[in-house]
Structure 1
Amino acid sequence: MHATRDRDLLRQDGAATVLGGPTTVIDVGGLRIVVDPTFDDPGPHGYLTKTLGPAVSEERLGPVDVVLVSHDAHPDNFDDRGRAFAMAAPLVLTVPGAARRLGAPAVGLAPWTTFMVPRTDGGGDLTVLAVPAVHGPEDGERDADGNVNCEVTGFVLSGHDLPTVYVSGDNASMRAVAEIARRVPGIDAAVLNAGAARVKGKFRERPVSMDGRRAAAAAAVLGATVVIPAHYDGWTHFSEGRVELETAFDEAGLSSLLRVLDHGSWSPLRG
């Protein structure tokens, strides 16, 4: 599923590409944004096992303006090379706990807070809004801060004359999706972590990320015209892949929204 390995990833205007796992590049407003960087080689990563490397290495991405880290607690979303990559970027936006652990250039965003990033296309600012995410079943045991599994966030990117893009992070909660749809109308594109990840010994091995049916339901609730799935392959703890995603969207009558391309291939952010 790799479209390119050793070529530079050329800048786009309003497009996104998944490099493998959760790692997604979004070019919008003249900015290059990288979501949940993971660039380590395949192999064991603690209690998780990676089976597929990135379609494009970090050296091929060129200058990056912003790194979005949904959470820093799990190596499938933020590995060693991903951490080094993020810390070399001019700005990292993440959850407050991760920002404290990482230090500069990381900035922590609580749910429903925003950060303004100056665009390089002359269009003003890109607004980055942190939105809720639940990394496991709604009834999962919560920590002292009310988090299931760990502190995690999603993001919504927007700006004048730009597509509005929802980036889910590792969210399994349809309730969170419904709240986002209510408070942020007009989402054009949704980058949804899917794969129905299941981890032995956690939550009776119920999914800690969306399965295909929930991804299709999320797309419908959000009203998105473009859905770019991420984080559904490359690790052994995923229980669903590309086929299950395509089947779920077909059964929901939403296949026209789904953009499942080879990793490293670009999808426009507007339908």
Structure 2
Amino acid sequence: MVPDILAKPRADACAATVLGGPTVVLDLGGLRIVSDPTFDPVGQHGYLTKTMASVATEEQLGAVDVVLVSHQDHPDNLDDRGRAFALAAPLLLTGPISAGKLGPPAAGLAPWTTRAIPRPDGGGELTVLAVPAVHGPEDGERDADGNVNCEVVGFVLSGQGLPTVYLSGDNASIRVVAEIARRAPAVDAAVLHAGAARVSPKFRGRPLTMDSRRAAAAAAVLGAGVVVPAHYDGWAHFGEGRDELELAFDEAGLAALLHAPEHGTWTSLRRDA
């Protein structure tokens, strides 16, 4: 049973819930934000296989204000129904190349550029900062645009009185995380795409996203007080799940930071919650 709270925005909330795969709903400053929407049914999607459905449908999310898309190239991050959902949103933010491929009304943000969004809660604006991501090993072959695998962006969300939240997108690079820790506002909560995604023909089968140990290392580098993992189940090419995440965070002495409840369960993004 999906919590009734998904049916309406939470004006006083600073919380997130994972719906499955990479898809996360965040309520911040009276805004309902959805990242990397995937709502297609279980089955084959191109060369990838979906094994678990989202715990909520598009309709159950109620009024959505912003959709964030880390990249549009792969169906495990933006499938057919997710694409339609994103393009119907009042505001869709993604990287410049993805925006060009998606077409209007998608708006492209290059790394280290921002977009300010008015907040319904009267707290001013939510600032969305696009940050870099590397979708594979650091030494992976770069395309003509200089990207490994494809263009991917992450996001840092911040605003007066709100926790600062980092959404990694499909980033596998600790170097990038260190750069974000150095240049972006101090991160209170991190939504990390983990799962050690692997596709055998690509980069000798090396991970395209963080494995569990790198996710724990990223949390330490960022100094995050809350970590919400996503992108670790629901697709056959994900190599590590919740058990591996819990072990890695425990071995790093960071178990208290990890919040990986059942999908559809809200987690506060405030350090002191």
The alignment's TM-score, normalised by the length of structure 1, stands at: 0.97
Residue 11 of structure 1: aligned partner: 9
Note the C-alpha offset of 1:188: 0.3
- Partner Cα separation in structure 2 for residue 148 and residue 184 of structure 1: 22
- Partner Cα separation in structure 2 for residue 230 and residue 266 of structure 1: 13
2:161 partner SS? coil
Equivalent pair of 1:42/1:50 in contact (CA under 8 Å): yes
1:154 maps onto 2:157 in alignment: no
Equivalent pair of 2:35/2:69 in contact (CA under 8 Å): yes
Equivalent pair of 1:191/1:227 in contact (CA under 8 Å): yes
Q: Show structure 1 runs of 5+ residues with no match.
A: none
Mark the CA change 1:134 to 1:126 in structure 2 (over 3 Å): closer, same or farther.
same
- 1:180-232 deviations in Å (ceiling 9; x for gaps): 00012421000000000000200000000000000000000000000000000
- Partner Cα separation in structure 1 for residue 3 and residue 141 of structure 2: 41
Q: Show structure 2 runs of 5+ residues with no match.
A: none
- Partner Cα separation in structure 2 for residue 6 and residue 75 of structure 1: 28
Equivalent pair of 2:8/2:63 in contact (CA under 8 Å): no
Q: Which runs of 4+ in 1 moved over 4 A?
A: 5-8
2:204 partner SS? helix
Equivalent residue letter for 2:9 = R
- 1:10-47 deviations in Å (ceiling 9; x for gaps): 43300000000000001001000000000000000000
2:74 partner SS? coil
Residue 144 of structure 2: aligned partner: 144
Equivalent pair of 1:9/1:56 in contact (CA under 8 Å): no
Equivalent pair of 2:133/2:171 in contact (CA under 8 Å): yes
- Partner Cα separation in structure 2 for residue 242 and residue 267 of structure 1: 16
Equivalent runs, 1:85-96 vs 2, <5 Å? 85-96=85-96
**Sequence identity of aligned pairs in percent?**
72
Equivalent pair of 1:5/1:55 in contact (CA under 8 Å): no
Residue 235 of structure 1: aligned partner: 235
Residue 121 of structure 1: aligned partner: 121
1:40 partner SS? coil
Equivalent pair of 2:25/2:32 in contact (CA under 8 Å): yes
Equivalent pair of 1:196/1:211 in contact (CA under 8 Å): yes
1:166 partner SS? strand
Residue 58 of structure 1: aligned partner: 58
Residue 70 of structure 2: aligned partner: 70
CA RMSD after TM alignment: 1.2
The alignment's TM-score, normalised by the length of structure 2, stands at: 0.96
- Partner Cα separation in structure 2 for residue 196 and residue 109 of structure 1: 26
Note the C-alpha offset of 1:5: 8.0
Equivalent pair of 2:172/2:209 in contact (CA under 8 Å): yes
- Partner Cα separation in structure 2 for residue 270 and residue 105 of structure 1: 32
Note the C-alpha offset of 1:6: 8.7
Equivalent residue letter for 1:168 = S
Equivalent residue letter for 1:147 = N
Equivalent pair of 1:5/1:57 in contact (CA under 8 Å): no
Mark the CA change 1:15 to 1:7 in structure 2 (over 3 Å): closer, same or farther.
closer
- Partner Cα separation in structure 2 for residue 118 and residue 65 of structure 1: 10
Residue 165 of structure 1: aligned partner: 165
Note the C-alpha offset of 1:7: 8.1
Equivalent pair of 1:5/1:56 in contact (CA under 8 Å): no
Equivalent runs, 1:1-271 vs 2, <5 Å? 4=2, 8-12=6-10, 13-271=13-271
Mark the CA change 1:88 to 1:175 in structure 2 (over 3 Å): closer, same or farther.
same
Equivalent pair of 2:190/2:219 in contact (CA under 8 Å): yes
- Partner Cα separation in structure 2 for residue 254 and residue 194 of structure 1: 16
2:93 partner SS? strand
Note the C-alpha offset of 1:8: 4.4
2:217 partner SS? helix
Matched length = 269
Equivalent pair of 1:48/1:76 in contact (CA under 8 Å): yes
